[in-house]
Homo-oligomer: A and B are copies of this chain.
Amino acid sequence: MKYSKATNYALHTMLNLALSKSSKPIGVQTLAEKLNVSPTYLSKILTKLVKEGMVSSVSGANGGYSLTRGWESISFLDIIFAIEGKSSLFECGLDHGPQCQIQKVMLKSEKKMEEELRRQTLADLAKTSE
Protein backbone atom coordinates (compact mmCIF):
# COMPACT_ATOMS: atom_id res chain seq x y z
CA MET A 1 0.00 0.00 0.00
CA LYS A 2 1.59 3.20 -1.22
CA TYR A 3 0.50 6.61 -2.31
CA SER A 4 0.61 6.86 -6.09
CA LYS A 5 3.23 8.95 -7.82
CA ALA A 6 0.39 11.08 -9.09
CA THR A 7 -0.31 12.18 -5.54
CA ASN A 8 3.31 13.10 -5.14
CA TYR A 9 3.19 15.17 -8.32
CA ALA A 10 -0.06 16.81 -7.28
CA LEU A 11 1.31 17.91 -3.93
CA HIS A 12 4.46 19.34 -5.45
CA THR A 13 2.54 21.07 -8.21
CA MET A 14 0.16 22.68 -5.77
CA LEU A 15 3.12 23.88 -3.78
CA ASN A 16 4.72 25.30 -6.89
CA LEU A 17 1.54 27.12 -7.78
CA ALA A 18 1.24 28.47 -4.26
CA LEU A 19 4.79 29.74 -4.26
CA SER A 20 4.48 31.45 -7.62
CA LYS A 21 3.82 35.07 -6.97
CA SER A 22 3.00 35.71 -10.59
CA SER A 23 -0.60 36.60 -11.30
CA LYS A 24 -0.22 35.03 -14.74
CA PRO A 25 -1.24 31.39 -15.05
CA ILE A 26 1.60 28.90 -15.39
CA GLY A 27 1.74 26.42 -18.26
CA VAL A 28 1.93 22.70 -17.70
CA GLN A 29 5.22 22.73 -19.58
CA THR A 30 6.83 24.87 -16.91
CA LEU A 31 5.32 22.92 -14.05
CA ALA A 32 6.34 19.60 -15.55
CA GLU A 33 9.95 20.68 -15.93
CA LYS A 34 10.27 21.39 -12.24
CA LEU A 35 9.09 17.90 -11.38
CA ASN A 36 10.91 16.20 -14.19
CA VAL A 37 7.79 14.54 -15.47
CA SER A 38 6.11 14.55 -18.86
CA PRO A 39 3.76 17.47 -19.55
CA THR A 40 0.96 15.32 -20.91
CA TYR A 41 0.96 13.13 -17.85
CA LEU A 42 1.01 16.04 -15.45
CA SER A 43 -1.78 17.53 -17.49
CA LYS A 44 -4.13 14.71 -16.51
CA ILE A 45 -3.31 15.19 -12.89
CA LEU A 46 -3.95 18.89 -13.15
CA THR A 47 -7.26 18.23 -14.82
CA LYS A 48 -8.35 16.30 -11.75
CA LEU A 49 -7.42 19.21 -9.56
CA VAL A 50 -9.34 21.54 -11.83
CA LYS A 51 -12.40 19.32 -11.59
CA GLU A 52 -12.23 19.49 -7.84
CA GLY A 53 -12.19 23.26 -8.09
CA MET A 54 -8.80 23.85 -6.48
CA VAL A 55 -7.11 24.98 -9.64
CA SER A 56 -8.42 27.04 -12.49
CA SER A 57 -7.21 26.67 -16.03
CA VAL A 58 -7.31 28.81 -19.10
CA SER A 59 -6.69 27.51 -22.59
CA GLY A 60 -4.95 29.29 -25.42
CA ALA A 61 -1.91 31.45 -25.72
CA ASN A 62 -0.64 32.72 -22.38
CA GLY A 63 -2.94 30.23 -20.74
CA GLY A 64 -2.09 27.81 -18.00
CA TYR A 65 -2.99 26.98 -14.43
CA SER A 66 -3.43 28.98 -11.30
CA LEU A 67 -4.90 28.42 -7.87
CA THR A 68 -8.47 29.46 -7.26
CA ARG A 69 -9.37 32.09 -4.67
CA GLY A 70 -9.52 30.50 -1.27
CA TRP A 71 -6.56 28.33 -2.06
CA GLU A 72 -4.99 29.10 1.32
CA SER A 73 -7.42 26.80 3.04
CA ILE A 74 -6.98 23.84 0.72
CA SER A 75 -5.71 20.94 2.79
CA PHE A 76 -3.41 18.04 2.08
CA LEU A 77 -6.42 15.81 2.39
CA ASP A 78 -8.26 17.72 -0.32
CA ILE A 79 -5.39 17.18 -2.71
CA ILE A 80 -4.97 13.53 -1.82
CA PHE A 81 -8.68 12.84 -2.15
CA ALA A 82 -8.70 14.55 -5.53
CA ILE A 83 -6.10 12.11 -6.81
CA GLU A 84 -6.59 8.91 -4.84
CA GLY A 85 -10.33 9.11 -4.49
CA LYS A 86 -12.32 9.26 -1.31
CA SER A 87 -13.03 5.60 -0.70
CA SER A 88 -11.77 3.81 2.36
CA LEU A 89 -8.38 2.13 2.45
CA PHE A 90 -9.92 -0.99 3.91
CA GLU A 91 -12.76 -2.70 2.13
CA CYS A 92 -13.72 -6.27 2.87
CA GLY A 93 -16.67 -6.37 0.51
CA LEU A 94 -19.03 -7.73 3.14
CA ASP A 95 -21.08 -6.11 5.85
CA HIS A 96 -21.42 -8.04 9.06
CA GLY A 97 -23.06 -5.19 10.84
CA PRO A 98 -22.10 -3.30 13.93
CA GLN A 99 -20.54 -6.25 15.72
CA CYS A 100 -17.69 -6.12 13.22
CA GLN A 101 -14.76 -4.73 15.11
CA ILE A 102 -12.28 -5.08 12.32
CA GLN A 103 -13.85 -2.47 10.09
CA LYS A 104 -14.45 -0.26 13.07
CA VAL A 105 -10.80 -0.23 14.02
CA MET A 106 -9.52 0.14 10.47
CA LEU A 107 -11.88 2.99 9.74
CA LYS A 108 -11.13 4.81 12.96
CA SER A 109 -7.40 4.70 12.40
CA GLU A 110 -7.87 5.95 8.89
CA LYS A 111 -9.87 8.87 10.18
CA LYS A 112 -7.03 9.80 12.49
CA MET A 113 -4.72 10.13 9.54
CA GLU A 114 -7.27 12.12 7.57
CA GLU A 115 -7.81 14.42 10.51
CA GLU A 116 -4.16 15.29 10.52
CA LEU A 117 -4.08 15.74 6.75
CA ARG A 118 -7.07 18.03 6.91
CA ARG A 119 -5.34 20.18 9.48
CA GLN A 120 -2.43 21.01 7.17
CA THR A 121 -3.28 23.68 4.65
CA LEU A 122 -1.56 24.82 1.53
CA ALA A 123 -0.99 28.17 3.21
CA ASP A 124 0.94 26.48 6.02
CA LEU A 125 2.97 24.60 3.48
CA ALA A 126 3.73 27.66 1.38
CA LYS A 127 4.69 29.71 4.39
CA THR A 128 7.27 27.26 5.68
CA SER A 129 8.60 26.40 2.23
CA GLU A 130 9.26 29.77 0.70
Q: Which residues of B contact A65 (CB under 8 A)?
A: none
Instruction: Say which one of A21-29, A47-55, A115-123 lies at the interface with B.
Output: A115-123
Q: A2-B1, A84-B1 known; A125 and B110 CB under 8 Å?
A: no
Chain A stretch 81-130: residues in CB contact (< 8 A) with chain B: 84, 89-92, 99-102, 105-106, 108-110, 112-117, 120, 124-125, 128-129
Q: How many copies does the complex hold?
A: 2
- A55: min CB distance to chain B, Å: 17
A binding-site residues for B, Cβ under 8 Å: 1-4, 7-8, 11-12, 15, 76, 84, 89-92, 99-102, 105-106, 108-110, 112-117, 120, 124-125, 128-129
* Further contacts, 13 of them, CB under 8 A, given A1-B84, A100-B129, A105-B120: A1-B89, A2-B91, A3-B89, A3-B90, A8-B90, A8-B92, A15-B102, A76-B106, A101-B125, A101-B128, A105-B116, A109-B117, A112-B113
